[in-house]
Amino acid sequence: MSLSLTPIDRAKYAAARRAVDLVEDGMKLGLGTGSTAAWMVRALAERVKSEGLRLTCVPTSVRTAELGRELGLKIVALEDAGWLDMTIDGTDEFDANLTLIKGGGGAHLMEKIVATASDKMVVITDASKEVKTLGAFPLPVEVVPFGWQASRMLIEELLGAMDVMGTQASLRMNGARPYITDEGNHILDLSLGRIGNPRQLSLALNQVPGVVENGLFIDICDIVVIGFADGLVELRDIGEGTIERERIIFEDTNNIFRDV
């Protein structure tokens, strides 16, 4: 039951509930990946079940696809859906310009493709993810397995000329083995401390041989929905320049959220 959730999960749930209120019947949606996005998928399935919404959903990872199918959502590939109306996803960090760091869940490549194939990207988060300057959260960079050590050396050399505090790139591990993305690649996590110029860094990283994509989302997010443990939700629309606040009522959602 939502009343027994931790404060952080209550905040995520509140943001997810508000975000899915933006969904309209007949929409084609991108579904993000991660713990906050999982709340969104479940809240979306709750609306579909109670209101009979007809939606077509494109997942950004295998685990999101599995969760969506389990909950009865219509899951299709991006090439089958075509252009999307909206993508709803979480974030690891965001700033006042709604520039994001994503990829803590290892899905930022698919997340960026799906988000940029949408008319609008809505980000759901809790207040702890908002920062003045990006970079405290390690920046994920997806690289092909072949020659990843060379790619890492080139990245660390590049970082020395960037407006960042740190230059260490670490291979993400899954136990004793390298973490493998859904696309079969590795991830290098960059411990930067601070990113003074995200746009410059993003462009430079993607020029390094072996780099597939980085976790900086620039000029992609349109709306951020920030949830709080008491049910307060703040919706910021960067395009409209508006801020809306309301309170979500925590109801008994034991059935739909039983596995979270």
Choosing from 24, 70, 93, 111, which is the catalytic residue?
111
Residues 43 and 55: their CA atoms lie apart, in Å, by 13
N-terminal to C-terminal alpha carbon distance within the chain:
10
Instruction: Check the CA dihedral 45-127-237-64 and report its sign.
Output: negative
The reply to whether 130 belongs to the active site is: no
Beta bridge partners of 88: 31, 122
Angle formed at CA 194 by CA 188 and CA 117, multiple of 5 degrees: 60
> Which DSSP string corresponds to 144-205?
-STTHHHHHHHHHHHHTTSSBS--EEEE-EETTEE---TTS-EEEEEE-S-BS-HHHHHHHH
Instruction: Tell me the catalytic residues.
Output: 111
